[in-house]
Amino acid sequence: GAVVSQHPSRVICKSGTSVKIECRSLDFQATTMFWYRQFPKKSLMLMATSNEGSKATYEQGVEKDKFLINHASLTLSTLTVTSAHPEDSSFYICSARLAGSSYEQYFGPGTRLTVT
Protein backbone atom coordinates (compact mmCIF):
# COMPACT_ATOMS: atom_id res chain seq x y z
CA GLY A 1 0.00 0.00 0.00
CA ALA A 2 0.94 3.66 -0.31
CA VAL A 3 3.19 4.84 2.49
CA VAL A 4 3.79 8.38 3.69
CA SER A 5 6.57 9.12 6.13
CA GLN A 6 7.25 12.15 8.29
CA HIS A 7 10.48 13.24 9.84
CA PRO A 8 11.11 13.87 12.62
CA SER A 9 8.43 12.02 14.58
CA ARG A 10 9.08 14.20 17.61
CA VAL A 11 10.93 17.46 18.02
CA ILE A 12 11.52 19.83 20.91
CA CYS A 13 12.76 23.30 20.17
CA LYS A 14 13.22 26.58 21.97
CA SER A 15 11.07 29.63 21.42
CA GLY A 16 12.27 31.75 18.55
CA THR A 17 13.89 28.96 16.60
CA SER A 18 12.61 27.41 13.37
CA VAL A 19 11.72 23.80 12.82
CA LYS A 20 11.41 21.92 9.55
CA ILE A 21 9.17 18.88 9.16
CA GLU A 22 9.48 16.65 6.11
CA CYS A 23 6.70 14.68 4.48
CA ARG A 24 7.60 12.03 1.93
CA SER A 25 5.55 9.71 -0.23
CA LEU A 26 7.70 6.60 -0.29
CA ASP A 27 6.30 4.50 -3.10
CA PHE A 28 4.14 6.82 -5.15
CA GLN A 29 4.14 10.28 -6.66
CA ALA A 30 2.05 12.96 -5.06
CA THR A 31 1.28 16.14 -6.95
CA THR A 32 -0.65 17.40 -3.96
CA MET A 33 0.15 17.18 -0.28
CA PHE A 34 -1.80 18.54 2.67
CA TRP A 35 -0.69 19.76 6.07
CA TYR A 36 -2.88 19.46 9.16
CA ARG A 37 -2.40 20.28 12.80
CA GLN A 38 -4.19 18.64 15.67
CA PHE A 39 -4.59 19.70 19.27
CA PRO A 40 -5.11 17.06 21.98
CA LYS A 41 -8.44 15.31 21.71
CA LYS A 42 -9.43 17.57 18.83
CA SER A 43 -9.96 17.17 15.14
CA LEU A 44 -7.40 17.68 12.42
CA MET A 45 -7.37 21.23 11.17
CA LEU A 46 -6.35 21.65 7.55
CA MET A 47 -3.61 24.26 7.34
CA ALA A 48 -2.63 24.31 3.71
CA THR A 49 -2.61 22.51 0.39
CA SER A 50 0.78 22.07 -1.20
CA ASN A 51 1.11 21.56 -4.95
CA GLU A 52 4.35 20.42 -6.51
CA GLY A 53 6.17 23.28 -8.18
CA SER A 54 3.79 26.02 -7.08
CA LYS A 55 2.92 28.07 -4.03
CA ALA A 56 0.89 26.50 -1.29
CA THR A 57 -2.72 27.48 -0.70
CA TYR A 58 -3.34 28.36 2.92
CA GLU A 59 -6.60 28.01 4.81
CA GLN A 60 -8.15 31.07 6.33
CA GLY A 61 -6.45 32.14 9.53
CA VAL A 62 -3.19 30.29 8.83
CA GLU A 63 -0.18 32.61 8.57
CA LYS A 64 1.81 31.76 5.46
CA ASP A 65 4.89 33.57 6.71
CA LYS A 66 4.74 31.60 9.93
CA PHE A 67 4.23 28.20 8.34
CA LEU A 68 6.42 27.98 5.25
CA ILE A 69 5.57 25.16 2.88
CA ASN A 70 7.77 23.93 0.08
CA HIS A 71 6.83 21.15 -2.32
CA ALA A 72 9.92 20.81 -4.42
CA SER A 73 9.38 17.34 -5.81
CA LEU A 74 6.63 14.81 -6.41
CA THR A 75 7.63 12.93 -3.27
CA LEU A 76 8.60 15.60 -0.78
CA SER A 77 6.90 18.50 0.94
CA THR A 78 8.32 20.41 3.89
CA LEU A 79 6.66 22.52 6.55
CA THR A 80 8.85 25.01 8.37
CA VAL A 81 7.51 26.57 11.54
CA THR A 82 9.36 29.85 11.78
CA SER A 83 10.11 31.67 15.02
CA ALA A 84 8.28 29.01 16.95
CA HIS A 85 6.31 29.87 20.07
CA PRO A 86 4.84 27.58 22.74
CA GLU A 87 1.39 27.98 21.19
CA ASP A 88 2.75 26.33 18.04
CA SER A 89 3.19 23.14 20.02
CA SER A 90 0.94 20.62 18.34
CA PHE A 91 0.72 17.42 16.37
CA TYR A 92 1.37 18.07 12.69
CA ILE A 93 0.17 15.53 10.13
CA CYS A 94 0.72 15.52 6.40
CA SER A 95 -1.10 13.61 3.74
CA ALA A 96 -0.33 12.96 0.11
CA ARG A 97 -2.75 12.56 -2.76
CA LEU A 98 -1.89 9.97 -5.36
CA ALA A 99 -0.97 11.66 -8.65
CA GLY A 100 -3.79 11.31 -11.13
CA SER A 101 -6.34 10.52 -8.44
CA SER A 102 -8.94 12.91 -7.14
CA TYR A 103 -9.56 11.15 -3.87
CA GLU A 104 -6.87 8.66 -2.86
CA GLN A 105 -5.09 10.36 0.01
CA TYR A 106 -2.64 8.79 2.43
CA PHE A 107 -1.59 10.14 5.80
CA GLY A 108 1.76 10.28 7.50
CA PRO A 109 2.28 9.19 11.11
CA GLY A 110 2.51 12.75 12.39
CA THR A 111 5.15 14.91 14.06
CA ARG A 112 4.85 16.00 17.66
CA LEU A 113 6.27 19.50 18.05
CA THR A 114 6.94 20.90 21.50
CA VAL A 115 8.17 24.46 21.81
CA THR A 116 9.68 25.35 25.17
Nearest residue (CB) to another protein, 8 versus 109: 109
Q: Is residue 77 near another protein by the rule CB under 8 A?
A: no
Nearest residue (CB) to another protein, 22 versus 82: 22
Binders of another protein: how many residues, by CB under 8 A? 21
DSSP string of the chain, one letter each residue: ---EEEE-SEEEE-TT--EEEEEEESSS-EEEEEEEEE-TTS-EEEEEEEETTS--EEPTT--TTTEEEEEEETTEEEEEE-S--GGG-EEEEEEEEETT-SS-EEE---EEEEE-
Tell which positions 17-56 bind another protein, by CB under 8 A: 34, 41-44, 46, 49
Binding positions for another protein, rule: CB under 8 A: 4, 6, 34, 41-44, 46, 49, 91, 93, 95, 102-103, 105-110, 112
